[in-house]
Amino acid sequence: YRFGIKPIVIVTGYLGKQIEKNIISSQAKNTSKSETIIIINAGNRYKLGPLHSFLSITGNKQVFKTNELFLVIPGDTIFDYKLMEEILNLLKENYDEANQNSIIFYRRTTKIALNKETEKYKLMSNRMVSCVRTKEKGSKQYVKEIYNRNMNTSSDDEEFNQIIPAFIITYDYVKNFEDIASKIKLNKIVDAINLSIKNDMEFLACRVKSDHNFYDIDTVL
């Protein structure tokens, strides 16, 4: 709410009824939220994976409109306020490019830095981290590939580009994802992004310099 993003669209699948009940209860306590939040039930599509859950927005004309930009974040991730603030500032700075190419955000980090942040060295040593390879085009960086990096094979001080799980996707790119998903069995948004890149679609790569973090709420603390 504090960033003024409207509407906030929550796509539900597993435990959808319970989530919807909690949201409705929250809206009843704060009526100003009722026009801000839209709930979309993905139905059985959520069983096909996060890509298909996301694509369920295409059936809602109130949400899925031409020329709209969609900020896509996973429902199990919490962002520090300052990190989200920088992401939105980068969107403003690159608004023209975002309307053409969509945006992937990343940060430069190392295994030892991630271990320090999480204070879970053994857990981190067994994790796969989503990363991005970039390429230069003029003064901008673009996504070459999104890949998983195995922390078991990474040295402590080797730098890499970790994906920030917040994507800016344009209307046209969502339509492209929908077309791809109808022809090829995919379940992740990053899979659709990589395939789109192979089909000569471009994604702007924006580096986030904030020291603030994001947290997977499914990770045991």
pLDDT digits (tens, 9 = 90+) for 5-52: 778 898 988 766 776 777 777 666 766 655 688 889 898 898 999 999
Mean pLDDT within 138-164: 93
Mean pLDDT within 183-196: 96
Closest CA to 68 of 190, 194, 168: 168
The two structure tokens encoding residue 185 = 């069995």
pLDDT averaged over the chain?
86
- Residues 6+ away with beta carbon under 8 Å from 68: 170, 171
Mean pLDDT within 159-174: 96
- Residues 6+ away with beta carbon under 8 Å from 140: 97, 204
pLDDT value of position 6 = 75
Distances (CA, A) of 25 to 72, 178, 180, 189, 196: 24, 33, 37, 31, 40
Mean pLDDT within 212-216: 85
Residue 221 pLDDT level (bands cut at 50, 70, 90): very low
Q: Is the dihedral of CA 164, 170, 173, 177 positive or negative?
A: positive
pLDDT value of position 98 = 83
pLDDT value of position 127 = 79
Mean pLDDT within 73-94: 92
Is residue 4 predicted with pLDDT exceeding 70?
Answer: no
The two structure tokens encoding residue 119 = 């204070």
Tell me the CATH class for 75-216: alpha beta
pLDDT value of position 33 = 58
Question: What is this structure's pTM?
Answer: 0.87
